[in-house]
Amino acid sequence: MNKVAIFGQAYKNTDRQYFEMLIENLNKFNIEILIYKEFVTILDELGVANLNYKTFQKHEDLDSTFDLLFTLGGDGTILNAATLVKDLNIPILGINTGRLGFLATVQKKEIENTIQSLIKKEFTIQERAVLQISTNDENIHFNDINFALNEVTIARKNSTSMIGVEAYLNDEYLTTYWSDGLVVATPTGSTGYSLSCHGPIIMPESNNFVLTPIAPHNLSARPLVIPDTTEIKLKIIGREKEFFLSLDSRVSTVPFEIELTLTKANFPVKIIQLNQQTFIGTLREKLFWGEDKRNYTS
């Protein structure tokens, strides 16, 4: 490990020791460090000293010479970091200074041991599928970021009225979801918004997407797991002129008359998993699946 990037978007002064711990342990091995420019500004305002490191600001500032990108924050920080990494194949490792942490699995007090594990190559790299979106309207660009690691969500705007989402799979009509909206999630996103709408949890290595309606009025409408080779087309019906379209946490306002096409992107986002971590273990820990007294009876 010779060169790394550090990305963050928010910072609490109580986390200062963990940032300093990360820098200190990287410096022990003479690793070149670049820090996200806006994160440096936040750190400087909080009085963090010795920030004499190179910075990066956008996707074009990164390249294949980076061994990995650290994030300091929660899962949302990793989702935003993915928009910087895009198709560069730079793996991401999240240090959890946020809340739940399905993706940011390294706890703050584990930083020193984590650096040791990275140096010893005691980790694997998971390739997480990404959803790519396009429309039949060339004027809609989604701020030039047309992909999502977690999910693409369609939701009603400025109204309590339902919207209709016509869904087509490989050009075959599936159904029209009369609901507050529809979540199309990757396996990574299956533990996010889709899960809160009663969607299934999908293992990261599964080659699937899931369509999960939000508060459907069709009483028979249920989440549907589909192969990730499926082309999904969506048309929106409603009384209003616009609806919300969210790619992870990036929200756009879109007119009803457009057609959306969702496919699997031709690149994955790479996530580092330390050898002592597993997705199943994360499920038990984060969802408290082991918190059942019957599991400990002899």
Catalytic positions are: 75
Query: Is the CA virtual torsion 166, 170, 174, 177 positive or negative?
Result: negative
The whole-angstrom distance between residue 82's C-alpha and the CA centroid of its chain comes to: 7
Please, which residues have CB within 8 angstroms of residue 92's CB and are 6 or more apart in sequence? 68, 69, 70, 71, 78, 81, 82, 85, 269, 270, 271, 272
Strand pairing partners for 235?
166, 259
Return d(Cα 257, Cα 43) in angstroms, integer.
44
User: CB of 132 within 8 A of CB of 174?
Assistant: no
**249 φ, ψ to 5°?**
-100, 10
User: CB of 161 within 8 A of CB of 193?
Assistant: no
Helix, strand or coil for residue 84?
A: helix
Return d(Cα 201, Cα 198) in angstroms, integer.
9
Return d(Cα 144, Cα 156) in angstroms, integer.
23
Return d(Cα 296, Cα 244) in angstroms, integer.
46
Question: Which single residue is written with the structure tokens 């990793």?
Answer: 78
Cβ count within 10 A of residue 186: 28
Strand pairing partners for 107?
96
Return d(Cα 138, Cα 161) in angstroms, integer.
28
**17 φ, ψ to 5°?**
-60, -30
